[in-house]
Amino acid sequence: METINYKDSLTILIPLWGRFEETLRILNHMSSINMPFKILLADGGGNDDKDKLNKDNFPKLDLEYHSFGRDKTIHDFMVKMNKAFSIIDTPLTIMVDNDDFLSLDGLIHGIKFLNDNKDYASYRGDIHCARSGHSIYKQPTKTGDTSLERFIFPTDSGMNSGWHDMGRTYIFKKFFEIMDKSQTNDLQLVFFNKKFLNTLYGKAYKDSSTPYYYHIHGNSLVWGKDIYSRGRDWIHSENFIDSAGITISMVYNLIHEENKITGLDGRVVVAKRILKHLAELNGIKPKDFNVVDKKIVESLVSSYDYDELILSVLDKPDKNTSFDLTGVLPEILLDYQKDRNVLLNHIAL
């Protein structure tokens, strides 16, 4: 197990596609709060801004910029993310949108939690809407003893995202390598799997009352742009059967040994759990669940096509699965008002 200083435990990965002014804004914000962690800018906008986005211009930041060409398709994005994660060598990573902000104290709190609780694969504090002051993601903590117990889709929990979870890097690496090699062009496949992916490796901590991440609404690159299917509509999209096959194969191969579910019957368990959740999003009651039986069968058939690919990734040895912090952590103050006072200098709330 690696022993490291807290500053070397986390990489902040910021995928880029345009919005240069927002990138400057978040970097200026992180400079103002003396963000100590590694920051990786993965640019897929077709530009090369290394002369502007570098350590010389942001001397307080441990900043690294890479241009990966232009993301012309969703698969190009997957390729970029896979390449970006191949660069990261810290045990933890958080993915951040360049138009949002972070709480330094909240990140340190999350690092300490994952250091102290090695049976947890991920941590997420409050995803706070900076303008409204409300929490926008409210998926609860998952503490089941087995991966199958944690592979659940809670209802009445608000938006159910895992995109901004602080997670163990080796899990991200495997996931985006699968997304890259599968040749998928389905962005909802990524969003859907990130809801639960970490729970297949360990417990997942969620908290909507501790400062962590500040979302700025209004300038999304994907929302409302017809780039991907919404969660409730995904089951009806042309991508769904193939994407379900990838998902079922990945989940099954990750959990079947621990949970002693095998073969076709094991895949049915995985498929039904996924389809039940999607059916409920569409207002289908459990007693009417047979309306999706045909899609279950089709998904199971296609899932076998991905076993060889997925196992080629999952069977690779994992690195930096855990760590121990050395030294004394700085004192932190988990205070929304403290964070907000800094944010006011960077955006009109």
Instruction: Encode pLDDT of 286-307 as tens digits.
Output: 566 565 566 666 676 777 789 9
**Is the pLDDT reported for residue 226 higher than 70?**
no
Q: 156: phi > 0 → left, psi -120 to 50 → alpha, else beta; which?
A: left
State how far the Cα of 181 lies from the Cα of 17, in Å rounded to an integer: 22
* Residue 87 · residue 40 · CB < 8 Å: yes
State how far the Cα of 337 lies from the Cα of 324, in Å rounded to an integer: 31
Q: What is the pLDDT of residue 348?
A: 62
Position 220 confidence tier, pLDDT thresholds 50, 70, 90: low
Q: Of the ranges 14-18, 238-242, 277-281, which one carries the lowest mean pLDDT score? A: 277-281
Position 222 confidence tier, pLDDT thresholds 50, 70, 90: low
Token pair of 288 as six digits:
């009417």
Q: How many CA atoms lie within 13 A of 323 on its CB side?
A: 26
* Residue 87 · residue 11 · CB < 8 Å: no
Q: What is the pLDDT of residue 89?
A: 96
Domain ranges of the chain: 2-228+319-343, 231-314
**Is the pLDDT reported for residue 223 higher than 60?**
no
pTM over 0.75: yes
Position 231 confidence tier, pLDDT thresholds 50, 70, 90: confident
**Is the pLDDT reported for residue 131 higher than 90?**
no
Tally the residues of the chain.
349
Q: What is the pLDDT of residue 305?
A: 84
State how far the Cα of 92 lies from the Cα of 187, in Å rounded to an integer: 23
Contacts of 106 (CB under 8 A, 6+ apart): 125, 126, 210, 211, 212, 213, 334
State how far the Cα of 182 lies from the Cα of 185, in Å rounded to an integer: 9
Contacts of 40 (CB under 8 A, 6+ apart): 11, 12, 13, 14, 64, 66, 84, 87, 88
Q: At what angle do helices 187-194 and 74-87 cross, to 10 degrees?
A: 50
Q: Of the ranges 36-50, 74-88, 149-163, which one carries the lowest mean pLDDT score? A: 149-163
State how far the Cα of 204 lies from the Cα of 120, in Å rounded to an integer: 6
User: Hey, what CATH topology would domain 2-228+319-343 get?
Assistant: Spore Coat Polysaccharide Biosynthesis Protein SpsA; Chain A (3.90.550)
